[in-house]
Amino acid sequence: MANQPPKKSKGIKKVLIVATLLLLAGLLTLTTLTRTRIILPAEMVLKDTNGRIQSFLSVPFSKLRLIWEAYIDLQGVKEENQVLKAQLAQLENEITSYREALIENRRLRQLLDIKNSSNWKTIVAQVIGTDIAPWRAVITIDVGKRNGVTVDMPVLCQGGLLGRVIETSISYSKVMLLTDYHSRIGAIIQRNRARGILKGDGARGCILDYVKKGVDIQIGDTVITSGLDGIFPKGLLLGKVKLVGPGDKSDLFQFIGVKPMADIEETEEVLVLKSPLPKIKKK
Amino acid sequence: MKTIAVFLSLSYLSLLIESTWCVFCDLYFLHIDPLPALICWISLNEDFWPGTLAVTICGLLASLFSCLDFFLFPVAYLIGFFTVYFIRINVLELSRLQAYLITGFISIEILVIQLAGSGTPELLWPWGIIQAVLNFAIAPTAFWMCDRCLALVASLVAKFSHEKGN
């Protein structure tokens, strides 16, 4: 190296070592104290400043990706067109059956006197950044306290549930995705109402845990929120079962791999659900 | 002072790019992170107290871009800084290649602290090790960038002071 190592006397070295240890001990203490993540006003202001710069920087990256995607899309457009036509015919049939289900649903809702969930207020937000720790599936969105966003609000995207708000500053919020290691969501299998807890696997998928062995789970089954966690409303689409295994002999539960319906890598716009959970009116 | 200015500017820039770019680039648990290399560079080029201060500020800045515990980044980065600093003053004068290797090793140190602190220590194998190898690979570029920036800042300061003298 061009630089010469500094010559330090033994006394100075001892002072430096003691200072180092004291500093680290102090910081470690602060780390344990701040586990509750109380956001200081200064931190909030700095986060907002960073958010503005991130919003500015995310535009060219977004444009570049659009150009690349347009090129990729052109490659298989003919094949895709045929597939889409077939899907359209299938979907038309499905829509007819859904209309029937909707009419039936409305009737049942009136019967049960449950508030219609489609009346919920939502906020549209842009994804502007991600967490610098790549093992955390956390994104930053451009709405915050100013827009009425609070911690634990559910966040949706085109496919289904994306995650929940875990931190808010004035104009920006952090959203923990359902694929995050620390994400836990109460879930049920739509077909047979089998309950479980959907955990993130830290990468791109999820695991439906605590479903007993012997419960009939099939690949392709739809997983929805159960509403039992008190955070997410019931019936939001989570994903499809992609893998079912018996697990180890000693395990009490099945191993169920779930592919999230939300397009986590491609999402640019999200929807934050503002209104509280629907409650059954007391008569 | 120039070293600290270069270090903090490049750190902040890399944090901004990392946090924005990673949205559109999925590499599972890996990311291109020049910060361990920058920490290694400042440990080799700066004195104890100014270096400690700069690395602490860098750690606090990094905390703003993450949902991990607020002081986890400063602690992890400072341990990396102290390791290289004490090697530098006590053991040997490092060659460039040795400095790159040490970047890889302190990356493991930093990742151990961050992964354990965020409740996911099981990711260290194999992802943490692969990340450390990746950090070793990008260290020459990061060092080159720091040296060029430092030379640029030094020439600008010299030019400015020369003009002022005239």
Q: pLDDT tens for residues A114-146?
A: 444 546 788 889 888 888 888 888 999 999 999
The yes-or-no verdict on residue B41 having pLDDT over 90 is yes
Amino acid at B75: V
Q: Which residues, other chains included, contact B20 with Cβ-Cβ below 8 Å and sequence gap of 6+?
A: A54, A57, A58, A61, A128, A129, A130
Q: What is the mean pLDDT of residues B38-49?
A: 92
> Is the model more confident about A186 or about B22?
A186
Task: Report residue A283's pLDDT band, with 50, 70 and 90 as the boundaries.
Answer: very low
Q: What is the mean pLDDT of residues B104-132?
A: 89
Q: What is the mean pLDDT of residues A37-48?
A: 73
**Is-contact B29 B88, C-beta < 8 A?**
no
**Segment holding B164, helix H or strand E:** helix B127-165
Residues of B in contact with A133 (CB under 8 A): 66-68, 114, 118
B 117-156 residues inside an 8 A Cβ radius of A: 117-120, 123, 127
Give the side-chain half-sphere CA count within 13 A for B43. 27
The yes-or-no verdict on residue B130 having pLDDT over 70 is yes
Whole-number mean pLDDT of chain B? 88
The yes-or-no verdict on residue A198 having pLDDT over 90 is yes
Task: Report residue A17's pLDDT band, with 50, 70 and 90 as the boundaries.
Answer: confident
Q: A16 and chain B: CB distance < 8 Å anywhere? A: yes
**Is-contact A248 A194, C-beta < 8 A?**
no
Q: What is the pLDDT of residue B4?
A: 93
Q: What is the pLDDT of residue B50?
A: 92
Shortest Cα distance from B4 to chain A (angstroms)? 15
pLDDT digits (tens, 9 = 90+) for B13-24: 999 988 887 665
Q: What is the pLDDT of residue A114?
A: 40
Residues of B in contact with A46 (CB under 8 A): 64
Q: What is the pLDDT of residue A84?
A: 83
Listed by start position, the domains of chain A span 184-260
**Is-contact B148 B47, C-beta < 8 A?**
no
Q: Which residues, other chains included, contact B56 with Cβ-Cβ below 8 Å and sequence gap of 6+?
A: B74, B77, B78
Question: Is the C-alpha dihedral spanning A78, A80, A83, A85 positive or negative?
Answer: negative
The yes-or-no verdict on residue A16 having pLDDT over 80 is no
Percent of chain B with pLDDT over 90: 50
| Cis peptide leading into residue B126 (ω within 30°) | yes
Q: Tell me if A181 and B119 make a contact (CB, 8 A cut-off).
A: yes
The yes-or-no verdict on residue A73 having pLDDT over 60 is yes
Range list of H helices, A34-131? 41-75, 77-112
* Strands A184-189 vs A222-225: parallel, antiparallel or unpaired: antiparallel
> Is the model more confident about A84 or about B54?
B54
Q: What is the mean pLDDT of residues A9-38?
A: 71
Task: Give, rounded to a whole angstrom, the gap between the first and last alpha carbons of chain B.
Answer: 24
The values of phi and psi at residue B64, to 5°, are -70, -20
Q: What is the mean pLDDT of residues A86-95?
A: 75
Shortest CA distance from A45: residue in chain B:
B64
Q: Tell me if A34 and B24 make a contact (CB, 8 A cut-off).
A: no
Percent of chain B with pLDDT over 70: 96
Q: Which of A7, A21, A27, A266 to mutate to test the interface with B (most CBs of B within 10 A)?
A: A27
Q: Highest mean pLDDT: which of A113-127, A160-174, B92-106?
A: A160-174
Residues of A in contact with B117 (CB under 8 A): 31
- Which among B29, B52, B90 has CB closest to A135? B29
Whole-number mean pLDDT of chain A? 80
Residue for token digits 């202001």? Answer: A45
Q: Tell me if A132 and B123 make a contact (CB, 8 A cut-off).
A: no
Q: B93 and chain A: CB distance < 8 Å anywhere? A: yes
Q: A230 and chain B: CB distance < 8 Å anywhere? A: no
Q: What is the pLDDT of residue A280?
A: 45
Residue for token digits 């943490």? Answer: B128
CATH architecture type of domain A184-260: Beta Barrel (2.40)
Task: Report residue B12's pLDDT band, with 50, 70 and 90 as the boundaries.
Answer: very high
